[in-house]
């Protein structure tokens, strides 16, 4: 396949490029490098540019005939989206529409869209399946839901078919390929705890220890980044074989608490982890677990990394490589 990967210099996008190139596919990566890293793109063709630049996108599509597009080029920090919603609506919504328009004009009819569990808002039940009501509680989640709804309309009007993949908590790394999480600032729990283990951070703050969970801390469904990438490949193959527009939740269907993550890091690294207990953060549900049955049945997907040790272990290898 010939695939255009947007945001391919970021955490998940760079792993996606590596998976596609390793499988023999032809890859063109586009990234503005606002948050991505050029050295994380480990193959294919790289083009520096912004998906909001219509002339640039038009030139990209004019140069190549793509089988499909994978869209990772969104901003993804919940707190930042609350502080600066304009930034999120401009990039995640307006720029996404520019992309869809250029795809239609170029006759590219398949797109895999990186969505999020944030579209569901406060869960009414768990595990969360695709029938769960969508009621996002922050601009980030609302921006992702907007694009999902636009994709449905573009399919009906223009025949642009899509698979929206709703990630729960991405984790892990392909340390052997020199790939891992490099967010600035870092907000994800596992890399933050690992930074405490290496001494790059003094302590880990735990927001809420009185939730109705076994140890009082929040429970989340983690999914290894390599398993996310495999789902994208299967989703594109599904569309190219005639599959209809759909949306699937991606998680392993099992939750791990903040306390379990910290305990596992201590066990794997043999290093002390200082914890500072804080009050609950507004909008943090006690439990978020995915029902990924639709991805398993429709796409033929199943996660390879299902233990917390395997996910944290790969991220620890990456953290050690970073020094």
Which residue, chain included where needed, has tokens 């250029």? 102
DSSP structural state of residue 23: T
Task: Say which of 11, 88, 140, 167 is annotated catalytic.
Answer: 140
Q: Quickly list H helices, 166-292.
A: 189-198, 225-240, 258-269
Q: d(Cα 228, Cα 166) in Å, to the nearest integer? A: 10
Listed residue (78, 310, 80) closest to 190, CA to CA: 310
pLDDT tens readout for residues 118-133: 999 999 999 999 999 9
Q: How far is CA 21 from the centre of its chain?
A: 19
pLDDT at residue 185 above 90? no
Q: d(Cα 252, Cα 304) in Å, to the nearest integer? A: 9
Please report, to the nearest 10 degrees, the dihedral formed by the alpha carbons of residues 280, 283, 73, 223 taken in order.
70
Q: Given this structure, which CATH class describes domain 2-171+223-250?
A: alpha beta
Each domain of the chain, given as residue ranges in start order, spans 2-171+223-250, 175-220+253-291+298-322
Q: What is the value of pTM for the model shown? A: 0.96
> No. of H helices and E strands in the chain?
11, 14
pLDDT at residue 238 above 80? yes
Question: In the predicted model, what is the mean pLDDT of the chain?
Answer: 96
Q: d(Cα 39, Cα 109) in Å, to the nearest integer? A: 30
pLDDT of residue 154: 98
Which pair of structure tokens corresponds to residue 18? 């590596």
Question: What is the pLDDT confidence band of residue 241, given thresholds at 50, 70 and 90?
Answer: very high
pLDDT at residue 293 above 80? yes
pLDDT tens readout for residues 190-203: 999 999 999 999 99
CATH superfamily of 175-220+253-291+298-322: UDP-galactose 4-epimerase, domain 1 (3.90.25.10)
Helix axes 189-198, 308-322, angle to 10 degrees: 50
Active site residue 140: yes
Q: What is the pLDDT averaged over residues 240-256?
A: 97
Q: d(Cα 272, Cα 197) in Å, to the nearest integer? A: 7
pLDDT of residue 177: 78
Contacts of 84 (CB under 8 A, 6+ apart): none
pLDDT of residue 319: 93
Which residue, chain included where needed, has tokens 């984790």? 171
pLDDT of residue 284: 85
Q: What is the pLDDT averaged over residues 23-44?
A: 96
pLDDT at residue 323 above 70? no
pLDDT of residue 155: 98
Question: What is the pLDDT confidence band of residue 3, given thresholds at 50, 70 and 90?
Answer: very high
Q: Are 66 and 4 in contact (CB under 8 A)?
A: yes
pLDDT at residue 38 above 90? yes
Which pair of structure tokens corresponds to residue 48? 């520096």
pLDDT of residue 126: 94
pLDDT at residue 114 above 90? yes
Q: What is the pLDDT averaged over residues 54-62?
A: 97
pLDDT of residue 184: 85
Question: What is the pLDDT confidence band of residue 111, given thresholds at 50, 70 and 90?
Answer: very high
Q: What is the pLDDT averaged over residues 53-65?
A: 96
SS3 290: strand
């Amino acid at each position: 396949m010939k695939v255009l990967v947007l945001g391919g210099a970021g955490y998940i996008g760079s792993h996606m490029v590596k998976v596609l190139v390793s499988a023999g596919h032809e890859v063109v990566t586009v990234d503005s490098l606002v948050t991505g890293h050029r050295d994380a793109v480990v193959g294919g063709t790289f083009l520096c540019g912004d998906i909001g630049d219509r002339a640039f996108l038009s030139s990209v599509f004019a140069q190549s005939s793509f089988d499909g597009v994978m869209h990772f080029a969104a901003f993804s920090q919940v707190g930042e989206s609350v502080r600066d919603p304009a930034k999120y609506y401009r990039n995640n919504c307006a720029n996404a529409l520019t992309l869809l328009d250029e795809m239609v004009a170029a006759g590219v009819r398949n797109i895999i869209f990186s969505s999020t569990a944030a579209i569901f808002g406060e869960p009414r039940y768990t595990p969360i399946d695709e029938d769960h009501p969508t009621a996002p509680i922050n601009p980030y989640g609302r921006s992702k839901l907007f694009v999902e709804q636009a994709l449905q309309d573009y399919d009906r009007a223009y025949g642009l078919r899509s698979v929206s993949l709703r990630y729960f908590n991405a984790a892990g790394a392909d340390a052997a390929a020199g790939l891992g999480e490099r967010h600035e600032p870092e907000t994800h729990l596992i890399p933050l705890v690992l930074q405490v283990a290496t001494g790059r951070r003094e302590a880990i703050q735990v927001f809420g220890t009185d939730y109705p969970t076994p140890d009082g801390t929040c429970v989340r469904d983690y999914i290894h980044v390599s398993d996310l990438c495999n789902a994208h490949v299967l989703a594109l193959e599904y569309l190219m074989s005639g599959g209809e527009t759909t949306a699937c939740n991606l998680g392993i269907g099992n939750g791990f608490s903040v306390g379990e993550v910290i305990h596992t890091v201590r066990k794997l690294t043999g290093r002390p982890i200082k914890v500072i207990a804080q009050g609950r953060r507004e909008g943090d549900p006690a439990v978020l677990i995915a029902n990924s049955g639709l991805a398993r049945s429709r796409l033929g997907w199943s996660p390879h990394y299902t233990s917390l040790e395997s996910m944290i272990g790969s991220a620890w290898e990456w953290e050690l490589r970073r020094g």
